[in-house]
Copies of this chain bind each other. A is one copy, B any other.
Amino acid sequence: MGFSLGCMTEKSIEFWYEFASTYSYPAAMRVERLAAASGVIVRCKPFLLGPILAAQGMKDSPFNIYAVRGRYMWRDLERICAAENIPLKHPSRFPQFGLKAARLALIGADRQPVGQAATNWCPAFSRAVFTANFAEDKDITQDDVLADILRNIGVDPQAAFAAANTAENKDRLKRQTDEAMERGIFGAPSMLIGEELFWGNDRLHEAIDWAAR
């Protein structure tokens, strides 16, 4: 019984990122635009990489643990940002703890409307936080820095912080991080289309192409 109008499935990609992650920066700055050009919707998935690296035995960024990799990464990031016309200023603090920003980003993604913003403000917020971290050398662990960012994208900081700091939302970020690990994510940025995992800014185009198939 019944009938079908055909499978009008929405093409989407999950974009998993961490605010401390250098390679998440150029990916976050481009993912919405590139996905839209391919008719693909982006699902913002902020998470914390720290617990995942800790499970691999790392207590710090691998780019700090392995200095030679760190030196390469910063040079590589310079080349990538130059090629994509993305501003870059080597931050004086690295990595910066992205916990507060990630809790806020979760609110932006799903708890709409918050304050004046009626739409999903997670992408705009995330781009602004990444820019503060990697282009403006701001301390993204500071409430006033995050509040300025929220105001600049038209979100009431007081309402957003209140929602971000509920026990429920804090737990939600933990569960999102657990989900990342369970689904095989070990670094950031990562893109998931169903169970198909793509890791790294280098795989952004391939991941979007996969989602658009």
Q: A56-B66, A66-B56 are in contact. Are A184 and B79 (CB under 8 A)?
A: no
Is there an interface contact between A69 and B186, defined as CB atoms closer than 8 Å?
yes
Q: How far is the CA of A203 from the CA of B71 in the complex (A)?
A: 16
Q: A79-B206, A206-B79 are in contact. Are A68 and B199 (CB under 8 A)?
A: no
Chain A 16-54 interface mask (CB, 8 Å, partner B; 1/0): 000000000000000000000000000000000000000
Q: How far is the CA of A199 from the CA of B68 in the complex (A)?
A: 12
Contacts of A186 in B (CB 8 A): 66, 68-69, 72
Interface, chain A (partner B; CB < 8 A): 56, 66, 68-69, 71-72, 75-76, 79, 184, 186, 197-200, 202-203, 206
Contacts of A71 in B (CB 8 A): 184
Residue of B nearest to A76 (CB): B199
Q: How far is the CA of A206 from the CA of B66 in the complex (A)?
A: 24
With both chains docked as a complex, state the minimum distance between the C-beta of A49 and any C-beta of chain B, in angstroms: 13
Contacts of A72 in B (CB 8 A): 184, 186, 197, 199
List 4 tightest A-B contacts by C-beta distance, closest first. A202-B202, A68-B186, A56-B66, A69-B186
Residue of B nearest to A185 (CB): B68
Is there an interface contact between B76 and A184, defined as CB atoms closer than 8 Å?
no
Complex A-B: 5 CB contacts under 8 Å: A56-B66, A56-B68, A72-B184, A72-B197, A75-B197
Q: How far is the CA of A115 from the CA of B38 in the complex (A)?
A: 55
Q: How far is the CA of A203 from the CA of B197 in the complex (A)?
A: 20
With both chains docked as a complex, state the minimum distance between the C-beta of A154 and any C-beta of chain B, in angstroms: 38
With both chains docked as a complex, state the minimum distance between the C-beta of A69 and any C-beta of chain B, in angstroms: 6
With both chains docked as a complex, state the minimum distance between the C-beta of A180 and any C-beta of chain B, in angstroms: 11
Q: How far is the CA of A203 from the CA of B72 in the complex (A)?
A: 13
Residue of B nearest to A202 (CB): B202
Q: How far is the CA of A211 from the CA of B202 in the complex (A)?
A: 20
With both chains docked as a complex, state the minimum distance between the C-beta of A112 and any C-beta of chain B, in angstroms: 33
Q: How far is the CA of A76 from the CA of B202 in the complex (A)?
A: 12
